[in-house]
Structure 1
Amino acid sequence: MIKRLIYSAAITSSLGFGANTVSAEELRFTVWTGSEAHLKMLGEIADSFTATHPDVTVRFDTIPFGDYVQKITLQMAGGNAPDLGWLLENSAPAFVDAGALADVSGTLKSADGYDYADFSQPAMGLWETSDATYGIPFSTSPFLVYYNKSLYDAAGLETPDQRIKDGSWTWEQLKSDAKALRDASSGVWGFETFDGQGYGSRVWHTLIPIIRAYGGSAWEGDSCKLDSPLSVQAVQLFHDMVYADGSTVPPGEQGDFFSGKAALTVTQISRVSKLADATFDWGIAPLPSGPAGDAATVGQAAVVAFAQGKHKELAAEFLAHMTNKENVAKMAAFFPPARKSVLNGDGFLTSNTAVAPEKMAFVAEGIESGSVLPSHQRFPQIEAEARPNFDALWSKNADVAATMKKLCSGISPLL
């Protein structure tokens, strides 16, 4: 029997997909994006699936990023698991270890023209074992610096693009730029953390790129390295940006690079969609280098089918459709792909009309050279244990070295 999938009313009403569709059965797909451009693209991919499945429609449920893992975990515990969804790299080991993800290898490898071998082997590392596949990365996206070129020009400062050419684009330089570009009188901050969430749900996104550029790391095997002198030096640099310089949006305050209220931020290529109506000139650049050189950091997310979903067979079929070559090429406008044929093709360089091909080229380079954010089978417990100590960093008089030592003491037994 053909199952029916339906668009959620909240999404279909804004995109015009027929919010009043009613179905006795549905396959539910959870995401954390609220971007109209992203949801429109996902809807088009779903439409191409329904073209060959006339009784099928698709429901996408948006869950805020900060609540995402907790809410889908609670849904699974309550017997209401999604059928498919997005999942971040740091959650992959825990979900695989718990048996929460369905093995979709049979469906993928038997799908006509799918070409499973086209996926980059390093990109698949978190999502497959020797005999099973638990997800397909749809986004292997390096972190980038977005900068407000209008503010740089008005201040007479060299832009990150210019500094890349002479090798002076460093974290110390970003710190200096952020301080120079801070304008309290007009409410413009020098730097805003990742999606403005860099002290809570994205604290790892904020600190890990700097830590790696300074030669530090989160952990190596079962040894915590967040309290090493190099890691502490990196965290101290960011702490100084917030409290000594006053250049960075602190906890509890609002900035927003995308509305012109911050000169710099770190995020990913998918956020370009938020600049469609920008009233200022902007640019993107790779992460700055540090004493240890360049340290590209990659955030990864995959499409997964949940083991407790009610429609596992159809979910695997839709997963195969969403991640085939044609649809990966569509998603590449926002989400750098793990398919080698798409990533290395000329089409990727021109996939996003808002970003010049030479900029997309260093996105591709970041994927090739970057390291994925830290992950672990016990990452949810590690994150919960680390949170109070991360929170303790965010005061002017915090002892960074002592706080990071206490943090490592707390998470070491979990490693």
Structure 2
Amino acid sequence: MSPQKSTGVSRRQFLGLTGAAAGTLALAGCSASSWGFRGAGSKTAEITYALWDANQQVGYQKSIDEFQRANPDVHVTIEQIPYGNYQQKITAQYISGDAPDVFWVNTPWLGDWAKGGLLTDIAPRAKKANIDFGQYIPTLVDLHRDGSKLWGLPKDWDTIAIYYNKQHLAKAGFRTPPTDLAWNPEDGGSWLHFLKQVTLDHKGRNALDPAFDPGNVDVYATAMTNEFQAIFGSYLAMNGGAMLPHAYATKSVFDSKANRKTMTFLTEMLHAAHVLVPNGETGPNGNSNNSQTIFASGRMAMWQAGDWNTGSLAGLSDFHVGVIPLPIGPKGRISVINGLTDGIASNTRNPEAAWRLVQWLGSEKSQRIMGSGGYIWPAIEKLDPLFQSYWKKKGVDVTPFLTEAQGKVVNFPVGTGMNEALSNVETALGPTFLGQKSATSGLASATEILDYRISYATTT
């Protein structure tokens, strides 16, 4: 998978455009109930599968080659769309009546695409096909379900853990980093103590040393950046907080006492301890645009991130990378979990072939191909050791990501208007992550725009 941010058309534009598209499609006689193959009389159904990740495309081509051997009456063309304009292009293609038949759906877009009528409810077909939902990680099924409606089958997942520079941690005295560290918003706990131990100044003194020079730090412990999924979402959950009270909520619980304490810990206490990369260096608005570069350069000992970064980090030449789980919070160790699904365009002219492809991609045979090639963590739980084994052979033990997935997790927030809302939240929290506003002030501003976005998008 890939990070969760995207820039798309506005909600108002989307609703207006999909309304116009619906009229056009109705006049053309191309509705979701027109079950047939593209091109009357054709013996082969030509369908398109859209994704954005070039590395995963290699694996999916292998999977689809197998699918086509088993389904010679279906031909699948993969269309790669850059992530930055993926949502916008899929929406535009749908409006023009030429959307990919099957395409990746990222969680922030799910609510809008479902409400806008772009996605096909596959619940009836999944029931008829006797899909075994018990084979999947349970939270992933819930992620793509809205009441009785189901927008896709689980196919992969991501959790959040911490990559570390093995050579640096060994230099700081940790050949085997501890995995039982705990944090709390009152004094930082053993986690903050550890962060101070691995932060070294230009003379090799750590941040616990009375002679430590905070003005000349060679290697910082880590960075805390302005991102829900990769950074603060898990910490909110570990202190009993959340962004939404439940999926498709029209009012958030973002500005809570627990969340204010958590954000103060992340943006104020840790900076005051001099263990974080200075404000602004990681990227504009406090985001993580530069975090991987800083980590790869050796100026940051650890990088909290999603497992989709494993491929790029495994190839670093200056040091070897290890992985440790997130620290344990007051409510336990909890990671945000997310997963992509494959949506079927509601106006596809080949719904039967599209469903066969979706069913295949959610199957054990396909996910075995993808997991054993190190492309994804399979959503089918028993296949996860395949991905784990692939990367262990490459020198990276990704077990902590799996340990977290098997423990306490919280789903990425799902709702109508979430993509724009998350972008607005990041903008509102920027001054907090840059050290210009308090966590309390930042959360109040972010909550105001978040509540407006999800309420407006749901009721419009």
User: Of residues 44, 47, 60 in structure 2, which corresponds to 1:27?
Assistant: 47
Do the aligned partners of residues 34 and 180 (structure 1) sit closer, same or farther apart at CA in structure 2, a change above 3 Å counting? farther
SS of structure 2 residue aligned to 1:137: coil
Cα distance in 2 for partners of 1:103, 1:207 equals 32
- Matching residue of 1:379: 418
Do the aligned partners of residues 61 and 92 (structure 1) sit closer, same or farther apart at CA in structure 2, a change above 3 Å counting? same
**Aligned-residue identity in percent:** 16
Q: CA offsets, 1:303-347, max 9 Å, x none?
A: 22221334332221111112211111232344333324435xx65
SS of structure 1 residue aligned to 2:447: helix
- Matching residue of 1:137: 154
- Matching residue of 2:254: 226
8 Å contact kept, 2:368–2:383: yes
Structure 1 residue 354: deviation in Å?
A: 3.8
- Matching residue of 2:440: 401
| TM-score, normalisation: structure 2 | 0.70
Do the aligned partners of residues 180 and 215 (structure 1) sit closer, same or farther apart at CA in structure 2, a change above 3 Å counting? farther
Q: What is the identity, as a one-letter code, of the residue corresponding to 1:136?
A: L
Q: What is the identity, as a one-letter code, of the residue corresponding to 1:219?
A: L
Structure 1 residue 45: deviation in Å?
A: 0.4
> Gaps spanning 5+ residues in structure 2: where?
1-35, 184-188, 205-214, 456-460
Structure 1 residue 94: deviation in Å?
A: 3.0
- Matching residue of 1:62: 80
Matches within 5 A, 1:9-408: 26-35=46-55, 38-54=56-72, 56-109=74-127, 115-128=132-145, 131-154=148-171, 156-158=172-174, 162-165=177-180, 172-173=192-193, 175-176=195-196, 179-180=199-200, 190-191=221-222, 199=226, 202-220=227-245, 223-240=251-268, 245=274, 247=277, 249-252=281-284, 254-256=290-292, 259-261=296-298, 262-279=300-317, 280-332=319-371, 333-343=374-384, 347=386, 350-354=389-393, 359-360=398-399, 363-408=402-447
Structure 1 residue 177: deviation in Å?
A: 5.7
**Which has the higher Rg, Structure 1 or Structure 2?**
2
Q: CA offsets, 1:175-234, max 9 Å, x none?
A: 5367438999998664356xxxx54xx444322122222332213255533322331232
Do the aligned partners of residues 181 and 364 (structure 1) sit closer, same or farther apart at CA in structure 2, a change above 3 Å counting? farther
Structure 1 residue 46: deviation in Å?
A: 1.3
CA RMSD of aligned residues (A): 3.7
Do the aligned partners of residues 384 and 148 (structure 1) sit closer, same or farther apart at CA in structure 2, a change above 3 Å counting? closer
SS of structure 1 residue aligned to 2:50: strand
Structure 1 residue 25: deviation in Å?
A: 8.3
| TM-score, normalisation: structure 1 | 0.77
Cα distance in 1 for partners of 2:386, 2:435 equals 48
Cα distance in 2 for partners of 1:186, 1:277 equals 26
The number of residues matched between the two structures is 383
SS of structure 2 residue aligned to 1:398: coil
Do the aligned partners of residues 170 and 127 (structure 1) sit closer, same or farther apart at CA in structure 2, a change above 3 Å counting? farther
Q: CA offsets, 1:236-268, max 9 Å, x none?
A: 333345687352543247342674444322223
Do the aligned partners of residues 216 and 108 (structure 1) sit closer, same or farther apart at CA in structure 2, a change above 3 Å counting? closer
8 Å contact kept, 2:367–2:380: yes
Cα distance in 1 for partners of 2:94, 2:222 equals 38
Do the aligned partners of residues 57 and 94 (structure 1) sit closer, same or farther apart at CA in structure 2, a change above 3 Å counting? same
Do the aligned partners of residues 231 and 129 (structure 1) sit closer, same or farther apart at CA in structure 2, a change above 3 Å counting? closer
8 Å contact kept, 2:102–2:345: yes
Cα distance in 2 for partners of 1:107, 1:32 equals 26
Do the aligned partners of residues 162 and 381 (structure 1) sit closer, same or farther apart at CA in structure 2, a change above 3 Å counting? closer
Structure 1 residue 278: deviation in Å?
A: 2.4
